[in-house]
Structure 1
Amino acid sequence: MSIYPERTSHDLHLKHVVNNAVGPFPANCAGYMNPPAAGWGYIAALKLSIGTVAADMDTGLDGIVSYDRAECEDAYIGQINMLTASSFCGVNGAVWGYDLARHDDLAAGLVKPLMMLPRHDGVEIPVMPMAPLLDAAYRLFGSRNQRRFPPLPGSMVVCANKSRTINPERETTVWCALAIAIAQDRLTTANLFIEDSSDTETTGEAPLVDIDRNIARSILLCGADQGVAYQQIFIGHKALKIKKGTVGCALACVPYVTLPHDAIPRNMHPEVLVDLTLSQWEQALDLDPMAPYPGNYRG
């Protein structure tokens, strides 16, 4: 039996994906491919975080703690075994905050392009700020102090990810960046993630001057190489100055998960999430409001 639904409408396809992206646990997301999931689908959620610690142990231990803190900052994905994957959200995947539980700012058309760039066929496509998608992941997983549906502690979670850990000799900026390109034909082609991270001690200030445009250009080059048309790009980055005596870790990460049963409104099929905005999903579950998404980010 093929995993691919009939080619009817895009929304129907997404509903097939979401119906097949429910894990076995009541209150925790599960990593994609963790048994016994209910089907073949998965949900991608986007996260940018920076963690810091005083450099008073040794290089390895300081790096472990700063990375761990990056996992716990903003959208909480602590206590997981992170497995690194390549960077696509495929035909059997959906994006949290975009395809399902769509962020209210996106649904209302309030998010305006940062720029327009031509793809390989000459069509101009919008490059949008990532803030709504980062906020959506934060409101799915919860925070360190207010958890909602985080990945099951100790679970194996496949993630597109890239990180940079730095123990600088002088004040240095550590940064991470993330983008997703939304494919025009979601039935035959994949969305693309680009993750990047570094520090100005290594590269100088130049990469941060025009990072959004350069990442978008890299996406469009990949699209030309693959013959894939992307209809929209979302981009964001975070940066933090790190003083000597401090270790900083910048993490760009996209966990691929299945949803817990408790994240589905009672007596409804999972596919209903395709028709709900993020705030409607929160209201349907009667969730306590989250504190605003933390600052220190662009996009």
Structure 2
Amino acid sequence: MAHIPDLRARDVVNNAIGPFPKNCAGYMNPPVGGYGYIAALKLSIGTVVADMDEGLDGIVSYDRAECEDAYIGQINMLTASSFCGVNGAVWGYDLARHDDLANGLIQPKMVLPRHDGVPVPIMPLDPLLDAAYRLFGSRDERRFSPLPGAMVVCANKSQTINPKVETTVWCALAIAIAEDRSSTANLFIEDASDTETTGPAPLEEIERNIALSILRCGRDQGVAYREIFIGSKALTIPHGHVGCALACAPYVTLPPAAIPPGCEPGDLTEMTLSMWENQLGLTPMRPYPGVYRAFSD
């Protein structure tokens, strides 16, 4: 599907700059510099050996999930309902658009009909996960991560398990892009569970059901979504370990240092992700770790 330019996004991004020079700020953190916010997408799994009490093991595994992949460690995560609205823009989609999306290299996983019969492509989430990774950086390669200790509103869901027998923990995340961005919101759906709780289910089946739930929400709200991006991660957790699967979308404002010299923030809506990196002279990062990469205990 050809990308439909969103003229509204430029104004949103121009009003989504935070006060901290090199760190993203949580949306609504003072001093407020505008009405806009940027949503980024993250899926991660963290594990720890179960050698403390259950509460402490759960804290450490959750903390490790925040530090894996796109780095959002050291934040105070505040849970919000799951919409990216008229005054929001999606990193990697509306601005600093991922090159694979810009070049039409991403193919649908499936196509499902919405309530009015129009076919909706269900796309891989990988480009948007990679885009967030390249905005925030990683645990070892920091870029514009949220300010340590910031209050960051996130659409999020997590599952923490300390299994009695080997169990798979999983998380999934989707964003549905509204057809009319000037009057309706994009929708996030986050899900997380484990096979001990829900029984075994292929990730493809989980993703299909999430897409169906989005289309039903669209029918109920009278909102038409033109495309859905969806992804999932899973990891087998042996007995004696604790695992935490996290699906989240932080709502942030960008730091001034993330805007290339001589540009307005809104100019990012005309750039691909690699153009943004090149204009800032950023050191290339290691490839996005699409599969689980364990911490050392």
User: Where on the TM-score scale, by shorter chain, does this alignment land: which range?
Assistant: over 0.9
TM alignment of 1:140-179, pairs within 5 A: 140-179=135-174
1:14 is matched with: 9
- Aligned residue type for 1:83: L
TM alignment of 1:68-217, pairs within 5 A: 68-206=63-201, 208=203, 210-217=205-212
1:247 is matched with: 242
2:217 is matched with: 222
Q: Does 1:280 align with 2:280?
A: no
- Shift in Å, 1:279: 0.2
Q: Does 1:39 align with 2:24?
A: no
In 2: Cα distance, 1:181 partner to 1:216 partner: 9
Are the counterparts in 1 of residues 172 and 190 from structure 2 also a CA contact under 8 Å?
A: yes
For residues 78-136 of structure 1, give each alpha carbon's deviation from its aligned partner in whole angstroms, at most 9, with x where no partner exists.
00000000000000000000000000000000000001100000000100000000000
Are the counterparts in 2 of residues 10 and 187 from structure 1 also a CA contact under 8 Å?
A: no
Are the counterparts in 2 of residues 120 and 224 from structure 1 also a CA contact under 8 Å?
A: yes
SS of the residue 1:256 aligns to: strand
- Aligned residue type for 1:78: G
In 2: Cα distance, 1:10 partner to 1:124 partner: 20
Deviant stretches of 4+, over 6 Å: none
In 1: Cα distance, 2:30 partner to 2:204 partner: 44
Identity, in percent, stands at 77
Q: Does 1:59 align with 2:54?
A: yes
For residues 36-74 of structure 1, give each alpha carbon's deviation from its aligned partner in whole angstroms, at most 9, with x where no partner exists.
131000000000000000000000000000000000000
Which structure 1 segments of 5+ residues have no match? 1-8
In 2: Cα distance, 1:266 partner to 1:36 partner: 23
Are the counterparts in 1 of residues 79 and 156 from structure 2 also a CA contact under 8 Å?
A: yes
TM alignment of 1:279-298, pairs within 5 A: 279-296=274-291
For residues 207-266 of structure 1, give each alpha carbon's deviation from its aligned partner in whole angstroms, at most 9, with x where no partner exists.
635111111000000000000000000000000000000000000000000000000001
Are the counterparts in 1 of residues 39 and 91 from structure 2 also a CA contact under 8 Å?
A: yes
Are the counterparts in 2 of residues 21 and 37 from structure 1 also a CA contact under 8 Å?
A: no
1:271 is matched with: 266
SS of the residue 1:149 aligns to: coil
The count of corresponding residues between Structure 1 and Structure 2 is 289
One of 253, 256, 261 as aligned partner of 2:256: 261
2:295 is matched with: none
- Aligned residue type for 1:17: V
SS of the residue 2:52 aligns to: coil
In 2: Cα distance, 1:51 partner to 1:69 partner: 5
For residues 152-209 of structure 1, give each alpha carbon's deviation from its aligned partner in whole angstroms, at most 9, with x where no partner exists.
0000000000000000001100000000000000000000000000000111113635
- Aligned residue type for 2:210: I
- Aligned residue type for 2:179: Q
SS of the residue 2:117 aligns to: coil
- Aligned residue type for 1:152: L
Are the counterparts in 1 of residues 203 and 232 from structure 2 also a CA contact under 8 Å?
A: no
In 2: Cα distance, 1:228 partner to 1:35 partner: 33
SS of the residue 2:6 aligns to: helix
- Aligned residue type for 2:20: F
In 2: Cα distance, 1:219 partner to 1:61 partner: 35
In 2: Cα distance, 1:110 partner to 1:294 partner: 19
